[in-house]
Chain A
Amino acid sequence: MKFSISQSVQCGAFTLAEVLIATGVSSTIAAALLTGVCTLQRSFQASEYYAAALNDQTRALDYIVRDSRGALSVQVSADANTLTITLPDYYSSYDAQGNPNGMPVTPLLGTNTAIYNDPGKPVTISYFAEGRSLMRQVTIGRTGSTSKAVIASDVDNFTFTFGAVDSTVTASLTFSPRFQGISPATDQRTKRTAVIYMRNHKSA
């Protein structure tokens, strides 16, 4: 019995000092964990944003490069923030979003060039920022229909620069990472530039 009572006293309670020490240690560990989790969460969110921004950047440049490559001509606004591309009207019909849903037309051959549909009414595509979105606006010259689509959202801290020289188009997109302690130089490392040779350009 004596042995049993002794065991019971040892397991039954803690002194005030023990409780205070335990509480202090636990609080410290909890605070460290909370700080760590918060930091991890912020880092994760910054990484997520970086990946998403990189993805948006890639998609936007892919669109611009694809459209510019077949351009008949391009125009860049004075502030270099809007790119307007003129393309041959290659399809018989388009849906409400300006996407082709008809077959390619057979070109008519002029004296020195191939002509798709009415050359005086080409397809026009514009890229510009609207609010926090990068827009792609398609105008079908033949029907007059216009549609806009968001090709990259959350681009409020993107920088767009377009340029057109002779037969080439240059498009640069830069975004600012959300990692803490970044320098302007880090921004530049997120800049991607595409130089596109316009296949349908007629003179150099």
Chain B
Amino acid sequence: MELKIKLWRLKNTGSTILTALGAMTVLTLLAGVALTRISASYRVTFQSGSWEEALRAAEAGAELAMASLNELSVDSTTAWAGWSAADASGVRTRVYSASSTPPLPAHTGEGNTKMYASLRVDPITNGSRTWYRIRSIGTVEVPGGRAMTRESALKDVKGTKNARSMLRKITFLTDRTGSTLKLPQTSRAIELVAQPTAAPLFQRGFTAQYALTMSGGVYTDSFDSSDALKSTAGRYDPLKHGSKGSIATNSIGDLSDLGDSYVWGSVMSNGGAISRINNVQGEIINNFKTELPAVTAPKWTTIISNPSKLTGVQTLAAGTEAAPSRYKVTSIDLGSKDRLTIANPTPGQASYVEIWCTGDMKTNAQAVFILQPGVFAKFFVEGNFSIAGGGVDNRSSNAANFLLYGISPTDGTSRQFKLTGGADFTGVIYCPGYDFVSTGNGSFQGAVVCKTGTIKGNAGFHYDEALKNVDSDAVGGYQMDSWVEDIR
């Protein structure tokens, strides 16, 4: 009997252990299933995030290539520093990483921490100009293990799976060259075509690199000097005004304040939010970004050096489009009794003049500065501008006939562009290195590109929509013409 009791006790003990083991097994299986499901979702996050970062790396690489291209017009000897020497076809290559100079952005913390951009830049001849094609491949590592996620392949309309998904492509074991990978990686490739900036730069009324401030009764709208329905005799007509007087800042919007001025057009910033925009009649866009190439000093081989400066009473003759008259002067200073005339030797036809001023350009409101009808004038100024609107008489009544370029300082300092007076001003201002200040009350017809912009008073800024087709071959550098992602 003693033996029987012991057996009965042993039997009970064994059942408890088995039950516990069984329960643990079931719970472990449940936990395993749950963990497997969670891991799949977890990997989706990493793989999707890394795939997005690969594009960021490719875009960053392309921007660095664009920077080298734009450096060409400033100093061609240093523009390609760090790149391979050009081969027989002119192709250059480079790989950027977090340790390069300049570096790609470093990514720390959870997820991928390494990114690379492999670049290839090749020239393409287009007539007398050289364009460039930039191919940038952004590559990043993909944490989360060598396993696909719950991602299924694409299905066609009948529910049949296609052979491959055309979205995220992750390589787990070997890269495209066949080399073994330590970690999975993903790549994205983009192709940009960059063209010389003999391209429209004036696509909106006002563009500032940094802060833009408006106050008083100032407002913006648009007209089209080439369209009789949108202008009268090529000039702004309030009864025909348009709503393309857009303004933009290439920086975070928080730097700018529109003072609730009326803007008949869109307002754009590169992130952030612009203050006091209650009277904007168009869209508010906060992912704006554009290239504002620097203006470099002309590299003319033929220069008219007499007169050496423009002051007093003088008349300059314009030339032809193929051979414009090119003057180089040390300053332009038109006082109240001075008179400068840019004469058109072929009335009824277009004529062209280009003036390079190594000092300041000043025109007094009582000065007489005449651009005869048909004259297309370009001014390249290295110093400061001080323009009284009434001092410039653009008799073509067309902004495209009077272009003012402020040469970008190479030492990083700022220049000033002051526009004052109560009379109208018709012209185009491209000064990406200048602080633009307008205090006049007259009508401005044209477009402005500047470093910072301050507009006070009651001036109406009327963007001439015809300017969007005006070339600006005076500006060195390149801008993106097309952007394609290679999704193979």
Contacts and interface: CB of A to CB of B under 8 A. Distances in A.
B283 A165 contact: yes
Given A150-B157, A195-B287, A204-B248, A59 B1 contact: no
B220 to A, nearest CB: 14
B157 A148 contact: yes
B103 to A, nearest CB: 24
A166 interface: yes
Contacts of A104: 191, 484, 486
B488 A150 contact: no
Contacts of A148: 156-157
A107 B168 contact: no
Nearest to B52: A62
B183 interface: no
B131 interface: yes
Given A100-B487, A203-B468, A114 B285 contact: no
Nearest to B486: A104
A113 interface: yes
A149 B164 CA distance: 12
Nearest to B41: A51
A153 B306 CA distance: 76
Contacts of B124: 107, 109
B370 interface: no
Contacts of B162: 97, 99, 149
Contact of B151 (A55, A116, A147, A153): A55
Nearest to B481: A114
Contacts of A100: 487-488
A113 B482 contact: yes
Contacts of B44: 55, 58
Interface stretch (A19-27, A63-71, A75-83, A174-182): A63-71
A153 B150 contact: no
B154 interface: yes
Given A150-B155, A204-B203, A70 B484 contact: yes
A4 B2 CA distance: 9
A11 B1 CA distance: 14
B484 A88 contact: yes
B363 interface: no
B385 interface: no
B48 A62 contact: yes
A70 B52 CA distance: 15
Given A59-B151, A59-B167, A165 B285 contact: yes
Given A107-B482, A197-B287, A62 B51 contact: yes
Interface string A123-156: 0000000100001000000000001111101000
Contacts of B126: 109
B227 interface: no
Interface residues of A, number: 49
Contacts of B285: 165-168
Contact of B484 (A4, A116, A204): A116
A147 to B, nearest CB: 7
Interface in A176-204: 195, 197, 199-200, 203-204
A149 B158 CA distance: 9
Contacts of A149: 154-157, 162
B255 to A, nearest CB: 19
B246 A204 contact: yes
A34 interface: no
A204 B481 contact: no
B199 interface: yes
A100 B82 CA distance: 34
A168 B287 CA distance: 8
A199 B63 CA distance: 13
Interface string A36-55: 00000000100010011011
A51 B41 CA distance: 7
B480 interface: yes
B106 interface: no
A44 B287 CA distance: 40
A112 interface: yes
Interface string A81-113: 000000010110000010111001001010011
Interface in B188-207: 191, 193, 195, 199-200, 203-204
Contacts of B485: 66, 69-70
A200 B484 CA distance: 8
Nearest to B480: A199
B155 A153 contact: yes
Contacts of B486: 90, 104
B52 to A, nearest CB: 8
B1 A4 contact: yes
Most chain A CB inside 10 Å of its own CB: which residue of B203, B289, B485:
B485
Nearest to A149: B154
A163 B199 CA distance: 29
B266 interface: yes
Interface in B31-52: 34, 37, 41, 44, 48, 51-52
B166 interface: yes
Contact of A3 (B1, B159, B283, B483): B1
A55 B1 contact: no
Contact of B482 (A7, A114, A167): A114
A204 B154 contact: no
B288 interface: yes
Contact of A150 (B156, B167, B203): B156
Interface of B: 1, 4-5, 8, 34, 37, 41, 44, 48, 51-52, 124, 126, 131, 133, 149-151, 154-157, 159, 162, 164, 166-168, 191, 193, 195, 199-200, 203-204, 246, 248, 266, 268, 283, 285, 287-290, 468, 480-488
9 contacts: A62-B48, A99-B164, A109-B193, A114-B193, A148-B157, A149-B157, A151-B167, A203-B203, A204-B246
> Which 3 pairs of residues, A with B, have the shortest CB-CB distance?
A199-B483, A109-B126, A114-B193
